[in-house]
Amino acid sequence: MKVYVMYENEDWMPPLRTALDGASIPYEEWFVDEGHFDVMSAPPEGVFLNRMSASSHTRGHAAAVEHTRQVLAWLERHGRRVVNGSRAFELEISKVQQHAALEQAGLRTPATRAVAGGPEALLEAAEDVPTPFVTKHNRGGKGLGVQLFRTHEAFAEAVRNGDIPTPPAHITLLQQYIEPAEPVITRCEFVDGDFLYAITSDTSDGFELCPADACRTDEGRCAVDGDDSLFALREDVPPSLIDSYKAFLEREQIDIAGIEFIEDAEGQIWTYDINGTTNYSPEVEDRHDLSGMAAVADLLKRELEAAATGESIPPDPPPPPTF
């Protein structure tokens, strides 16, 4: 019995390895990009952690997402426990599905229009979208493809100049821009239904933000609580919002996630992103004696013990999509 870690980004692995080794958890790494598996055979016994990222295509791993979808289906059909399984992964790789699920849960989200097609489709869709709005990739990660447009003229010029890149899954989002009271976003970290902590991220210089050690900016702007800080601990997130997020994660069978929100000038909270391959800021954690990966390791240890005794009950597979 061991934990199998499915991943495709080597840079994100060291903190998880440290946590697993510190907890004396036996594990094996599965690099999931190109590869093969025997559909007719049974998977190995154990617990599987899905660390596949929606941004895998940016690292040359174009096949990783679709390969992972098939592996997850195979594992779950055989009753294996997958942490952040197929239902969570479908939300990970589709912001359209994220927003539909958030809306269904009663959480306020920005108005969003999904566009399939080239320049003409984008321009036609934008006619019905009030300004300001942002573009996003439906399957992106790291804030990729996010651009702010305050006028339709500026958007049309960007489209004509080819400045709106085609996303890997060919769906571009045009989304209501929420004017923040301050240029920050808040990210709430959860593991196994427990709220760990929240951090703020400075968006003054753009939206491509990742708190992981390997994703620091060239300028090194990750000093905690300093004048140049990108990330800082936040301790005043409304408890009612945390409870809503916990209920949402339970409903959607998401074991590990960072949920991001923004506050407008009127103090309204808008939830706009769920990240299941959450990474943790080492500076924030070191400064405040926190460890998200230790919580992940604790979860895996409990699941491994349950699987070994036959007590683990895998979640129901996701329902088929409806159109």
The pLDDT of residue 203: 80
pLDDT tens by residue, 69-84: 999 999 999 999 999 9
Question: Given the structure tokens 């990739």, which residue do they identify?
Answer: 137
pLDDT at 187 > cutoff 70? yes
pLDDT tens by residue, 241-279: 999 999 999 999 999 999 999 999 999 999 999 999 989
SS3 133: strand
pLDDT at 15 > cutoff 60? yes
pTM to 2 decimal places: 0.88
pLDDT band at 41 (very low <50, low <70, confident <90, very high): very high
- Which of 124-131's residues contact partners 24+ apart within 8 Å by CB, and which partners? 125/174, 126/152, 126/155, 126/156, 126/174, 127/152, 129/174, 129/176, 130/176, 131/155
State the chain's mean pLDDT as an integer. 89
The pLDDT of residue 312: 62
Which domains does the chain carry?
A: 3-84+298-308 (3.40.50.20), 95-108+180-289 (3.30.470.20), 112-176 (3.30.1490.20)
For the chain, the first-to-last Cα distance in angstroms comes to 40
Do 88 and 252 contact (CB within 8 A), yes or no?
Answer: yes
The average pLDDT across 197-209 equals 75
pLDDT tens by residue, 204-236: 765 444 444 433 333 333 333 444 458 999 999
The pLDDT of residue 209: 42
pLDDT at 311 > cutoff 90? no
Q: Which residues contact 29 (CB under 8 A, 6 or more apart)?
A: 4, 5, 7, 13
